[in-house]
């Protein structure tokens, strides 16, 4: 008997998913555990495995379409089975399905080859081009002018298959076409749909900002010895070690001595964590994510660096799993590489604090005997949840971190 296949919650915070790619076609036999499609959640692109056996009779949600958790994305049953009533049910639920009769042999937009893309430049667009987030990302990656592509999705929406067809035909950006000179484009008002990831970020940070009483502690530290140590380690290892790996290690050592900074507010209690799991804020195209290096207190800089690089790669590939980014005990946000001197960061729940790191700047410093010395200085700001951390506790942590960075042997004491 045919059954509707619902969108599942593939991550703890997922409310909606976007179908990135169907790995099965209508008419294919599927078994429990088979991967049917790839779904973009609020955090990553994840595989959707079916819990049903049978034939994929109908794809309800084509590539590029979104579906809320519980919403029907496909119908599975026995080959040749009449599923008209099930399709009617999905239509009554407000889902976008094809009006054509549904049979196992009938192709859908998502499973047919995309028609040839328009090869001649169109007139200047007068509104926003309808396209899926993954299609826009793929177009940008391949330098494709998305306004020159015909959409085969619902209501002419451009989907991944359309961009892939344009790539095969070699349609490049108008700006890169030889012999063409374009005047500066006029500024248009653009309405950008909020991605699931951006929506979750907004909700969590707004909740943090307005429910956690933030206060901020700023300090400046000389990091010449850390820079020298990193230079020597890079030379010895034959590759670059991330500065963030050094910071995570020294922060972990200080958190061991200041456990209240490594804590969480639980309404009826405060939990001082028995582990130091540090998340690093990573900027993606459509938002932030904080991959976590676990148990930093018991790992060396090289191991932290290796794990951190692997996590960052997974983040950019949208392959992070929930265990890679959930339940940190402390977070670091570093905008130094973006040229930012200093800034304040919003606490990432359930953490009680986050450390914001600015760029390293060579600065003249007046010594104890009025001599002038050039030092590499870095500004840091600790955002604290006042429900958990008092001013003196935060200040002691920051001074300890400063001493560790200026006198690295301090972290061994």
Active site residues: 386, 390
279, burial (CB in 10 Å: exposed 0-12, middle 13-18, buried 19+):
buried
CA atoms within 13 A on the CB side of 235: 6
Q: ∠88-91-93 over CA atoms, to 5°?
A: 115
Could you list the beta-strand ranges (E) of 203-245.
214-222
Rounded Cα distance, 73 and 59, in Å: 6
User: H or E stretch including 21?
Assistant: strand 16-22
Tokens of residue 333, six digits: 């946000």
Which of the 8 DSSP states describes residue 215? E
Residue pair 328/292 in contact by the 8 Å Cβ criterion: yes
Rounded Cα distance, 164 and 160, in Å: 6
Q: Dihedral sign, CA of 149, 152, 156, 162?
A: negative
Question: Under 8 Å CB-to-CB from 147, ≥6 apart: which residues?
Answer: 122, 125, 129, 174
């Amino acid at each position: 008997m045919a059954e509707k296949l619902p969108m599942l919650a593939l991550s703890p915070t997922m409310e909606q998913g976007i179908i990135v790619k169907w790995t099965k076609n209508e008419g294919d036999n599927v078994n429990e555990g088979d991967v049917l499609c790839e779904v973009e959640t609020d955090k990553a692109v994840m595989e959707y495995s079916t819990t049903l056996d049978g034939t994929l009779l109908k794809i309800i949600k084509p590539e590029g379409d979104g579906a809320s958790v519980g919403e029907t994305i496909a119908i599975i049953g026995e080959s040749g089975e009449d599923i008209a009533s099930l399709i009617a049910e999905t239509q009554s639920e407000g889902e976008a399905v094809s009006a054509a009769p549904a049979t196992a042999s009938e192709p859908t937009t998502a499973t047919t080859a995309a028609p040839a893309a328009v090869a001649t430049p169109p007139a200047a667009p007068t509104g926003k081009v309808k396209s899926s987030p993954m299609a826009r990302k793929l177009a940008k990656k391949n330098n494709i002018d998305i306004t020159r592509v015909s959409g085969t999705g619902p209501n002419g929406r451009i989907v991944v298959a359309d961009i892939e067809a344009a790539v095969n035909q070699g349609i490049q950006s108008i700006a890169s076409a030889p012999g063409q000179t374009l005047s500066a484009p006029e500024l248009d008002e653009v309405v950008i749909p909020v991605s699931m990831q951006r929506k979750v970020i907004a909700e969590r940070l707004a909740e943090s900002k307005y429910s956690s009483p933030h206060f901020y502690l700023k300090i400046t530290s000389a990091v010449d010895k850390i820079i020298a140590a990193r230079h020597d380690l890079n030379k010895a290892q034959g590759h670059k070690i991330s500065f963030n790996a050094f910071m995570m290690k020294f922060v972990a050592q200080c958190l061991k001595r200041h456990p209240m900074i490594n804590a969480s507010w639980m309404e009826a209690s405060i939990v001082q964590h028995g582990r130091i799991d540090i998340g690093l804020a990573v900027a993606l195209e459509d938002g932030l994510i904080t991959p976590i290096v676990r148990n930093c207190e018991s790992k060396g800089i090289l191991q932290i660096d290796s794990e951190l690089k692997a996590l960052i790669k997974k983040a950019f590939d949208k392959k992070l799993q929930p265990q890679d980014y959930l339940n940190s005990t402390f977070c670091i946000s570093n905008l130094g590489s973006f040229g930012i001197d200093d800034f304040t960061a919003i606490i990432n729940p359930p953490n009680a604090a986050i450390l914001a790191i600015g760029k390293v700047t060579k600065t003249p410093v007046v010594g104890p005997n009025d001599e002038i010395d050039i030092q590499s200085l870095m500004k840091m700001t600790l955002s604290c949840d006042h429900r958990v951390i008092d001013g003196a506790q935060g200040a002691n942590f920051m001074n300890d971190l400063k001493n560790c960075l200026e006198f690295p042997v301090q972290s061994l004491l």
